[in-house]
Amino acid sequence: MSSNATVLADDSRLSRIDRLFFRFESLLNLIGGIAIFLLVLLATTNILGRWLFSLPIDGYIDWVEQAMAFIAFLGIAYTKRLGGHIRMDIVISRLHGRWLWFGELLSVVLMLLVALVLIYGSYLHFWRAYDLGDSSLDINLPTWPAKLVVPFALTVLALRLLLQLWGYTRAIREGGESPVAVPLIESAADVAAKEAESVLDDSGQAR
């Protein structure tokens, strides 16, 4: 399943760091959204220019290829914080209390290990492109800025995963059903209720 899960907050140091870091993640997500908007404008201009004046934008494909990294990766940590990634929770949704948080912690550890491997590999890929002066085929657009986005965004994700490790470790130690700074698993009914609430106003009418 995938949805924006509830993330609780309190006055603890963990929660304060979580909220502060979420602002940074939200900024990166906004930049990714702006990249999508600019890409739409670029595509519209390219189509109209080709249709009306037979003047397409030079290097249009090159710009699209570079923009893909910003669109695909800048929002990855933001989505992880909200629990918005698609996940299989057939087993883990049946767990409760410390067993649930232990299962979540184990999955975060595995994700962190994968992220660290990807950071290393993508950084080497960026450095090779930077060192060789790699560029696109059409207009010789440097490729290293887009390739740098990948290890940068994955590093932000790794920091988010470390915060969630802290949150799940605290949840295991203290027990309880409502830890802070981690996305809480919601039932299908809860997800449906939130989705309905997002499209209805206070009077129950569609917005």
% of the chain residues with pLDDT over 90: 72
Residue 176 has pLDDT above 60, yes or no: yes
- Distance from CA of residue 82 to its chain's centroid? 9
Question: Domain map of the chain by residue range?
Answer: 13-191
pTM, entire model = 0.88
Cα distance between residue 67 and residue 186, in whole Å: 34
- Distance from CA of residue 111 to its chain's centroid? 13
% of the chain residues with pLDDT over 70: 88
End-to-end CA distance of the chain: 25
DSSP assignment of 144-163 equals: HHHHHHHHHHHHHHHHHHHH
> For the residues 19-34, what does the mean pLDDT come to?
97
